[in-house]
Structure 1
Amino acid sequence: MYQVQRVSRSEFVPIRHLDYHVRLWGEPVPGQAPLVLVHGWMDVAASYQFVVDALSHDRHVIAPDWRGYGLTAGSPTDNYWFPDYLADLDFLLDHYAGSQPVDLVGHSMGGNVVMFYAGVRPERIRRLVNLEGFGMPATRPAQAPGRYARWIDELKSLHRGEMALKAYDGPDGVARRLMKTNPRLKQDQADWLAGHWARPNAGGQWEILGDAAHKIVNAQLFRVDEVLELYRRISAPTLVVEASDNSLDQWWQGKYSLAEFHERLAAVPDLRRALIEDAGHMLHHDQPQALARLLEGFLDAA
Structure 2
Amino acid sequence: MRRSSEFLNTNGLDLCVHRFRDDHARPTGLTLLLLHGFLDAGSTWDLVAEPLARAGHDVVAPDLRGFGRSARVGAGSYYYFPDYIADVAALVDALAPARLGVVGHSMGGAVAVYYAGACPGRVERLALLEGMGPPASGPEVAVARVEAWLRQMAGLDRAPRRLSSMQDAIARLEANHPRVPRDVLATRAPLLTREAPDGGLAWAYDPMHRTTSPLLFQVEAFMTFLERIACPTLLVSGGPTGWHPEDEAERVARLKRAEHVELPEAGHMMHWSAAAELAERLGEFFAAGGDAGDAAGAAGKGIAEAAEAAEAAAAASETGSL
SS in 2 for 1:192: helix
Shift in Å, 1:183: 2.1
Aligned pair 1:225/2:220, yes or no? Answer: yes
SS in 1 for 2:199: coil
Moved more, 273-282 or 25-34: 25-34
Write the distance in 1 (CA, Å) between the matches of 2:102 and 2:122: 9
1:242-281 equivalences in 2 (<5 Å): 242-248=237-243, 256-257=245-246, 260-281=247-268
1:44-123 equivalences in 2 (<5 Å): 44-55=41-52, 57-77=55-75, 78-97=77-96, 100-123=98-121
Q: Which amino acid aligns with 2:282?
A: L
Write the distance in 2 (CA, Å) between the matches of 1:141 and 1:107: 27
Write the distance in 1 (CA, Å) between the matches of 2:252 and 2:159: 36
Q: Which of 148, 152, 155 is equivalent to 2:153?
A: 155
Task: Report Cα offsets for 1:173-221 as digits up to 9, x if no partner.
Answer: 2122222222233343222222211012133321000001111222121
Aligned pair 1:38/2:25, yes or no? Answer: no
Write the distance in 2 (CA, Å) between the matches of 1:281 and 1:155: 29
SS in 1 for 2:162: coil
Matched-pair identity in %: 32
Write the distance in 1 (CA, Å) between the matches of 2:243 and 2:31: 31
Gap change, CA 1:31 and 1:168, over 3 Å in 2: closer
Q: Which amino acid aligns with 1:269?
A: K
Unaligned segments of structure 2, at least 5 residues? 290-322
Q: Which amino acid aligns with 1:91?
A: A
Aligned partners of 2:239 and 2:265 also within 8 Å: yes
Aligned pair 1:11/2:6, yes or no? Answer: yes
Gap change, CA 1:183 and 1:137, over 3 Å in 2: closer
- Report the equivalent of 2:317: none
SS in 1 for 2:121: helix
Aligned residues: 285
Write the distance in 1 (CA, Å) between the matches of 2:218 and 2:164: 42
Q: Which amino acid aligns with 1:97?
A: A
SS in 1 for 2:37: coil
Aligned partners of 2:161 and 2:207 also within 8 Å: no
CA RMSD of aligned residues (A): 2.1
